[in-house]
Amino acid sequence: MRILLVKPKWFVHGGVYRFLEEIKFTPLHIAILAALSEGHEVRLCDNDWEEIPYDESFDLIGITTATFTSRRAYEIAHRWREKGAKVVLGGVHASLLPQECLEHADAVVVGEAEYIWQDVLRDAEQGLLGGVYQQERLTDMNDVPLPRRDLFREDYWVATVQTSRGCPNRCRFCYLPSVPWHEHRQRDVELVYEELEALPQNVVFFVDDNMFADEAYVMRLCERIEPLRKIWSVQVPTNVARNEPLLAAMARAGCFHVQVGFQTVNPGSLEDAGIAQNRVEEYAEVVRAFHRHRILVLGFFMFGFDRDDSSIFRSTEQVIRRIDLDDVCLYILTPYPGTAMYEELEREGRLISSDRLDYGWANAVFEPALMSPGELEQGVQGIYESLHRHFRATAWRKLLKRLPILWRHPHILGIMTRALFRRIDIARKPAG
């Protein structure tokens, strides 16, 4: 069969990811599916950077989707079905709302696909494709094949790699507790080393949900990959900063940038959301700990918790300035359909938007408890406007401290420099 695997458009130019305007990350999930499709002709399409090839002919279309890309995914599915192709949907949204997805596709994969994809391909070949496919057991991470990187565009200069799946935390705002792959598992360190060694790219982003659920594993990984001289970025929980030997090992192994989920400066909201690992009084030391090892820190903060009133914006901005973060991503609390939080808000009659394009964490989709939806959106935009000047004023000092790495990787220096002049508009949405 001829198979097309699609990642729908999700990136918002001019939106919250100002440092990512020019970075093309390899779409790892569909490349893994390609590796599982041996014996078939496979093409990948990252719709953020290339058009869907509707003028070509394919037998099977696989589309991965999150909630905020689902409208686009359904449109893509409908066009291909009109052309006579069979369509299967997978990803986070398909795992949360499989029956809805079945209204727009011939089949749906719920959860992981490593042990079930061959069934999908067999049924598609035999004209039997239909219904929900879900494997009976979690994927052993050592069974995950190397992705078909030969199918990627040549201009992807940041490689994505996965060492683990799942997370033991149960934060109420997160979709992970609601999907089948939430249990934490790891790949053998040697397999990760071999994959990294074979990469043509020298810049890597680890896409793990929570690599640091096992800090001893990360220590072994860092010691093994240090000789490769790759540089890398990863999502990190705040409690990692208490492990000084691990931070030193990360820096030696090439970690130059981390994304830290501070989430909120409101202790009551931390408690309500089940974010047990965060302590507001430690935020400054978390940043200092990474900075001691010349690791840049991008902080994630979320607004709209039931204990947040309009004062949360000023207090959050003050903390961001005081703890000397290098950049921030500011999100509006967004419950994915199919999660417990969404169902709770639905029962309370607080949901105000069913437009899936609003579910990209930049729009108020429910009535907050202590402010209006407009105040919530305006408050987040206001922090971005104020911090734009702040980060421009402080960036040069921080970049100078990291010139050795930036000199070796001029792409990164160029992107960081240009990003300083970009203003963020949270109202922007991806093309529907």
Q: How far is CA 75 from CA 83, 133, 200, in A?
A: 13, 22, 35
Q: How far is CA 151 from CA 30, 47, 58, 112, 288, in A?
A: 10, 14, 16, 21, 41
Instruction: Specify the domain boundaries for CATH 3.80.30.20 within the chain.
Output: 157-419
Q: How far is CA 257 from CA 196, 229, 254, 340, 399, in A?
A: 18, 15, 9, 32, 12
Query: Which residues, at least 6 apart from 424, have a Cβ–Cβ distance to it below 8 Å?
Result: 14, 15, 16, 18, 381, 384, 388
User: Which tokens belong to 301?
Assistant: 């903060």
pLDDT digits (tens, 9 = 90+) for 345-368: 999 999 999 999 899 899 999 999
Q: Is pLDDT of 251 > 90? A: yes
Q: Is pLDDT of 430 > 70? A: no
pLDDT digits (tens, 9 = 90+) for 93-106: 999 999 999 999 99
Q: In three state form, how does the secondary structure of 146-183 look?
A: CCCHHHCCCCCCEEEECCEECCCCCCCCCCHHHCCCCC
pLDDT digits (tens, 9 = 90+) for 367-421: 999 999 999 999 999 999 999 888 888 877 777 777 677 777 777 777 777 766 6
From its phi and psi, is residue 324 left (phi > 0), alpha (psi between -120 and 50) or beta?
Answer: left
Distance CA 45, CA 49 (A): 8
Beta strands in 312-367 (DSSP E): 327-332
Averaged pLDDT of the chain: 92
Predicted structure pTM score: 0.93
Residue type at position 291: H
In this predicted structure, what is the pLDDT of residue 25? 74
Chain centroid to CA 166: how far?
13
Instruction: Specify the domain boundaries for CATH 3.40.50.280 within the chain.
Output: 2-133
Distance CA 336, CA 102 (A): 18
Helix (H, G, I), strand (E, B) or coil at 138: coil
Q: How far is CA 170 from CA 182, 292, 325, in A?
A: 9, 30, 26
Block residue for tokens 């409208």: 71
Chain centroid to CA 152: how far?
19
Query: CATH number of 157-419: 3.60.20.10, 3.80.30.20, 3.40.50.1100, 1.10.1060.10?
Result: 3.80.30.20
User: Which tokens belong to 353?
Assistant: 């938007």
| Residue 421 or residue 73, greater confidence | 73
The CATH homologous superfamily of the domain defined by 2-133: Cobalamin-binding domain (3.40.50.280)
In this predicted structure, what is the pLDDT of residue 414? 72
Q: Which of 25-29, 180-184, 291-295, 423-427 has the lowest mean pLDDT?
A: 423-427
Q: Is pLDDT of 20 > 70? A: no
In this predicted structure, what is the pLDDT of residue 268? 95
Helix (H, G, I), strand (E, B) or coil at 37: coil
Q: Is pLDDT of 289 > 60? A: yes
Find residue 330's DSSP bridge partners: 301
Confidence band, pLDDT 50/70/90 cuts, at residue 22: low
Chain centroid to CA 234: how far?
11
